[in-house]
Amino acid sequence: MSGIVKHPISSPVFLSFTGMTGDGQADLEHHGGPDKAVCVYDYSRYPALEQLMDRKLDWGACGENLTVEGCMEDEVRIGDVYELGEAKVQVSQPRQPCFKLGARYDYKELPVYFQESGHTGFYFRVLQEGEVTPSAIFRRISTDPASMTVLEANRIMHQGKQDAAAMRALLAIPTLADSWKQTLLKRLAKLETAEQD
């Protein structure tokens, strides 16, 4: 069972601290939770995916809860706060697409494509619950220029596994999701142990 198949909504939904009403995750160990309440993907990325897989994709094709435009990974920063209808949401971490996305399209290399390109989308945590409609206002209301972009965070997680300084810089962002912090701390500990041997 998977929660990766999504369908467009035509009526209001309530966005709580754990996600949108009516949306579910099959694998709650790796998906969902307060730091992953809303999965976001930019529709501008769809043409490249359609070309890669040689198929037309519908809205929500990447398993996201929220398909948007104008939120590319090189422009969105960890900690950015957005107004989404009545709710307020904050960027918590990049998305880490799992094998189920590749399995859905019979394209096993798809998760690797996301990791290598950095075009993963990202997650919101919910700061203020509220109703969201298909035509809801969606706009950024605060950003920290000193924070890292989603693309930079992806590079460190997937290509910078030996870059201790970059990992420490990413860890210094207070709004970064705890799961990412734990992964980075484990990697740093291994690097430090290897240096001592």
Q: What is the DSSP letter of 147?
A: S
Neighbours of 36 (CB within 10 A): 23
- The confidence score (pLDDT) of residue 29 equals 53
Q: Find the helix or strand (DSSP H, E) in which 89 lies.
A: strand 87-94
Check: CATH 3.30.450.20 for 13-143?
no
- Backbone phi, then psi, for 100, in 5-degree steps? -65, -30
- The confidence score (pLDDT) of residue 19 equals 94
**Is the entire prediction scored with pTM above 0.85?**
yes
75 versus 105: the higher-pLDDT residue is: 75
Position 69 pLDDT exceeds 60: yes
